[in-house]
């Protein structure tokens, strides 16, 4: 059998597996003996008290925090991610290679001309330390400031899920 046929068959199996989730998929909405509900910490911020916290049995320390944000909080964090944390001085992104000259004020550019916006091509952004893929390490010299609000959010999420 030619190599391309083997490849095509493997690709078909892979695509098929994406369409039909396997038994390893966990649906936190359904009763599942692999999951248990955990109480949110009493000292959690008010806006996190309504969140649903789950532990995965047999995986110490794993927590899944479902619906942690109100609609307003979700919009606030989404806006920060797209408007502030995509700026060149705050991050590195896939646009550094392909759209370096268009990278400043991505959100404002998108609002002005959505169809020609570089934001449409944004796939990923890294904050803080930037990984050097060719060297397989983090470079101390290549780091952008980590957003303090995002760090505080992570700390609050940790406090909430620490049980």
Residue-wise pLDDT tens digits, 91-138: 888 888 777 666 667 888 888 888 888 888 888 888 998 888 788 898
Are 160 and 53 in contact by the 8 Å Cβ rule? The answer is yes
Q: Locate 83 and state its tokens.
A: 């408007």
Residue 159 has pLDDT above 70, yes or no: yes
- For residue 8, the model assigns a pLDDT of 80
Asked whether the predicted pLDDT for residue 1 surpasses 50, the reply is no
162 or 91: which leads in pLDDT: 91
Residue 89 has pLDDT above 90, yes or no: no
Q: What pLDDT does 93 receive?
A: 84
For the chain, the structural domain boundaries read 86-146
pLDDT in tens, 71-83: 888 999 999 998 8
Determine which of 63-67, 83-87, 106-110 has the lowest per-residue pLDDT on average: 106-110
Phi-psi region of 137 (alpha: psi -120 to 50; beta: other; left: phi over 0): beta
């Amino acid at each position: 059998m030619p190599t391309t046929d083997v490849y095509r068959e493997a690709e078909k199996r892979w695509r098929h597996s994406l369409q039909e989730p396997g038994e390893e998929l966990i649906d936190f909405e359904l009763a599942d003996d692999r999951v248990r509900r955990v109480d949110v910490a009493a000292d959690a911020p008010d806006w996190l008290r309504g969140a649903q916290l789950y532990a995965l049995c047999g995986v110490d320390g794993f927590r899944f925090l479902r619906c942690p944000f109100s609609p307003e909080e979700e919009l606030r964090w989404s806006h920060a991610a797209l408007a502030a944390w995509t700026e060149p001085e705050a991050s590195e992104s896939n646009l550094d290679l392909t759209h370096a000259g268009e990278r400043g004020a991505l959100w404002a550019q998108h609002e002005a001309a959505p169809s020609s916006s570089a934001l449409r091509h944004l796939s990923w952004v890294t904050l803080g330390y930037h990984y050097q893929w060719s060297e397989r390490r983090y470079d101390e010299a290549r780091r952008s400031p980590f957003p303090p609000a995002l760090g505080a959010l992570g700390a609050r999420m940790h406090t909430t899920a620490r049980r």
